[in-house]
């Protein structure tokens, strides 16, 4: 089996041209849950899955997913950034939609196996590109009523992806969505597909109007910022505080919680997780979106009631945002020593 993993080593990819799109890589991991337990799991070549037409994942949205990256360091090693946090978040998502949890060790092992089996797809250090890992759990098996599936599939595949910012980190503008991505006591904090299906239309409308994406407000009062597209929000106040919204319907971003630690421990800032009111946007001198894919996207301005509220600048990155970005990315790529336990070497 091991020999078979090494089949298409002659991949020739122009790393500098990679975007955030699908590429078939060599092997992916699949494990099945039946009769109350997960099987040992294996690597497979086929990138197509065959499931019952009546699978709950297809009809009732019983599924969840994760997203994390493998990074190539200056000395050519490969490392993952806080995969244990993705594993724990996936367990919470599974619990929310009544699916069996994946043990943390099994999740990390599956990610490691997939990275090792596709090592030649991990972009070189300095290209800014990374190997994106997509773990997912779906309800499968024959079923027709609205109830949990009889069987589940846990998969992990990977795709090399380019830097989010072509030609450097540049601010982008957002507008506020009229629609919600999640309900007040719904599934907003779980990484389940339904939240994303609901965001496709407001996203498309925002893009048609020339914005990068839309900002979602709290679904109960529509007065507080919750999410920036598929990323969390942060703002830097005039007195140098790192502020980020607190709400049960926000997806708890691993990048955001990491930035909170870095802001406090590495940049000496005060950190606050609390309401970020749309009517008080002028408390922030810099704002940004953060997430695995977005890394840190500086927000140039936010459109509120037809007017663009500009923060630091529509073209220049603010100094605190830049420092946060350099520190986070430095740790992810192994240039800066991160807090203990954040980095998992792929061996």
Ligand X SMILES: Cc1ncc(COP(=O)(O)O)c(C=O)c1O
Closest among 321, 311, 300, 260 to 85, alpha carbons compared:
260
Total residues contacting ligand X (rule CB under 6 A)? 12
Contacts of residue 179, Cβ cutoff 8 Å, sequence gap at least 6: 198, 201, 202
Tell me if 331 contacts ligand X by CB under 6 A.
Answer: no
The least CB distance from residue 303 to ligand X, in Å, is 20
Q: At what angle do helices 83-96 and 254-265 cross, to 10 degrees?
A: 140
Q: Which residues pair with 136 in a beta bridge?
A: 65, 155
Stretches 35-43, 96-104, 134-142, 254-262: which one binds ligand X (CB under 6 A)?
254-262
Residue 154 or 234 with smaller CB distance to ligand X: 234
- For the four alpha carbons of 171, 176, 182 and 185, in that order, the dihedral sign comes to positive
The least CB distance from residue 162 to ligand X, in Å, is 17
CA distance 236 to 244: 9
The least CB distance from residue 289 to ligand X, in Å, is 8
Tell me if 227 contacts ligand X by CB under 6 A.
Answer: yes
Tell me if 254 contacts ligand X by CB under 6 A.
Answer: yes
Q: Name the DSSP class of 146.
A: S
Tell me if 276 contacts ligand X by CB under 6 A.
Answer: no
CA distance 76 to 72: 6
How many CA within 13 A on the CB side of residue 26? Answer: 20
Tell me if 253 contacts ligand X by CB under 6 A.
Answer: yes
Tell me if 332 contacts ligand X by CB under 6 A.
Answer: no
The residues assigned a catalytic role are 191
Tell me if 180 contacts ligand X by CB under 6 A.
Answer: no
CA distance 205 to 12: 37
CA distance 116 to 1: 13
Contact residue for ligand X among 169, 206, 251, 276 (CB under 6 A): 251
The least CB distance from residue 50 to ligand X, in Å, is 27
Q: Contact 344/79 with Cβ under 8 angstroms?
A: yes
The least CB distance from residue 210 to ligand X, in Å, is 22
Residue 188 or 301 with smaller CB distance to ligand X: 188
Residues 278-297 that bind ligand X (CB under 6 A): 291-292
Q: Return the exposure string of 321-332: e unless at least 16 CB atoms fall within 10 Å of the residue's CB, then b.
A: beebbebbbebb
Residue 122 or 259 with smaller CB distance to ligand X: 259
Stretches 15-23, 224-232, 296-304, 321-329: which one binds ligand X (CB under 6 A)?
224-232
| Binding residues for ligand X (CB under 6 A) | 67, 227, 230-232, 251, 253-256, 291-292
């Amino acid at each position: 089996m091991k020999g078979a993993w090494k089949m298409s080593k002659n991949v020739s990819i122009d790393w500098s041209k990679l975007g955030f799109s699908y590429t078939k890589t060599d092997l992916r991991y699949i494990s099945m849950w039946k009769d109350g337990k997960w099987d040992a799991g294996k690597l497979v070549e086929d990138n197509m899955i065959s499931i019952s037409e009546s699978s709950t994942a297809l009809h009732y949205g019983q599924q969840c997913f994760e997203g994390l990256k493998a990074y190539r360091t200056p000395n050519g090693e490969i490392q993952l950034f806080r995969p244990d946090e993705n594993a724990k978040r996936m367990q919470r998502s599974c619990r929310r939609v009544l699916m069996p949890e994946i043990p943390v060790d099994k999740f990390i092992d599956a990610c490691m196996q997939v990275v090792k089996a596709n090592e030649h797809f991990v972009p070189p250090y300095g290209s800014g590109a990374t190997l994106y890992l997509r773990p997912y759990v779906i309800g499968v098996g024959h079923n027709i009523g609205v109830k949990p599936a009889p069987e589940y599939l846990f998969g992990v595949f990977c795709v090399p992806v380019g830097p989010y910012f072509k030609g450097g980190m540049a601010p982008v503008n957002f507008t506020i969505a009229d629609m919600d991505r999640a309900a007040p006591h719904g599934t907003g904090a779980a990484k389940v597909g339904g939240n994303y299906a609901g965001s496709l239309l407001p996203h498309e409308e925002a893009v048609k109007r020339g914005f990068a994406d839309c900002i979602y407000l709290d679904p109960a009062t529509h007065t507080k910022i919750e999410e920036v597209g598929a990323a969390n929000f942060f703002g830097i106040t005039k007195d140098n505080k790192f502020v980020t919204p607190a709400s049960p319907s926000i997806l708890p971003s691993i990048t955001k919680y990491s930035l909170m630690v870095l802001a406090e421990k590495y940049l000496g800032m005060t950190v606050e997780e609390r309401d970020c009111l749309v009517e008080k946007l002028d408390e922030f001198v810099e704002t940004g979106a953060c997430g695995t894919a977005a890394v840190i996207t500086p927000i140039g301005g936010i459109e509120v009631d037809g007017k663009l509220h500009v923060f630091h600048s529509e073209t220049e990155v603010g100094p605190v945002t830049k420092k946060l970005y350099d520190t986070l990315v430095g740790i992810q790529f192994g240039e800066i020593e991160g807090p203990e336990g954040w980095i998992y070497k792929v061996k």
